[in-house]
Structure 1
Amino acid sequence: MGEDLLRHGQHRLARVQLFNWGTYDGYHDLPVARRGFLITGPSGSGKSTLLDAISAVLVPPTKLSFNAAAQGRGRTVPSYVRGAYARGSDADTRELRARYLREGATWSAVGLTMTTAGPGDVDTVTTLVALFHLRRGSNDLGESGRAFLLFDHHLDITELRQVVTEGINVRALKKCWPDALYNKSYPQFGQRLRARLGIADENAQLLLHRAMSAKGLDSLDRLFRDYMLDEPETFAEARRAVEFFADLDEAHRRVVQTREQITTLTPLEELTTTRDHANRDTRELGEEQAALDGLAAYFELDLARGWHTDADAAHANAATRERQSHAAHKHAAAALKDAERARDGNQSLRELTDALGHAAERVERVVTQRNRLDVALLPWGATVPDTADEFATIQSQIASETAELVAKAAEHDAADGALMLASARAEEGVTELKQQIAALAKVKSNIDPKLLDARALIMQATGLPARSLPFAGELIDVTDPSWEGAARGCSADWAGLYW
Structure 2
Amino acid sequence: MHNEQVTNEQMNTGQAVFGADLFPQGQIRLSELSVYNWGSFHGLHTASIDADGTLVTGGNGSGKSTFIDGLMALLLPAGKATFNVAAAQGDRSDRSLLSYMRGSFGSAHDGSSTRVKSKREKGVVTGLRALCQCDDGSSVTLAALFWTNSATNSLSDVKRVYVVAKRDLQLKEMLDAFGEGNVRQLKQWLRDDPAITDCDSNFSDYEELYRKHLYMDNKNAPALLSRALGLKKIDDLTKLIRELVLEPSGVKEDARKVVEEFSDLVAIHEQLIDAKEKYNHLGRLPELAESISKAAKALDLLQLEKNYLGVYFGEALSILWSNKLAEIGNQLETISRAIKSAEIEGKDAQGSVEKRHEEYLNLGGDKIESLKKDIQHTQDKLNDVIQVSSNYQRDCRNLSLSAELNEELFLENKNTAAEKLAKNEYDTKQSQDYFGEIAAQLSEKKKNLNDMKDEIREIEARPDSNIDISYQQLRDEMIDSLDLSSEELVFIGELLDVKEDEKSWQGAIERALGGLKTTLLVPQKSYSMVTRWLNVRHTGLHVRAQVVCQARPEHSSGSGRPASSFTEFNERGYLRKLVWKDNPYRDWLKGHLNKFDLQCVSGTDELDATPFSMTKEGLVHMERGRFEKKDQRRINDRKSWSLGFSNKSSLVILNSDKKDAELRLAELNATLNEARASLNKVAERAKLWGRLGSYAWEQVNAQYWQQRLDNVSVDLKKLEQSGGNLELAKNRWNTAKVHLQKIQENKGQLLMEKGSLGNDKKHAQEQVDKYQQLASTCMTDDVRTLLSERVGEVTLES
TM tier, smaller: 0.3 to 0.5
Q: TM-score, normalised by structure 1?
A: 0.42
The structure showing larger relative contact order (alpha-carbon pairs under 8 Å, at least 6 residues apart) is 2
Q: Larger C-alpha radius of gyration, 1 or 2?
A: 1
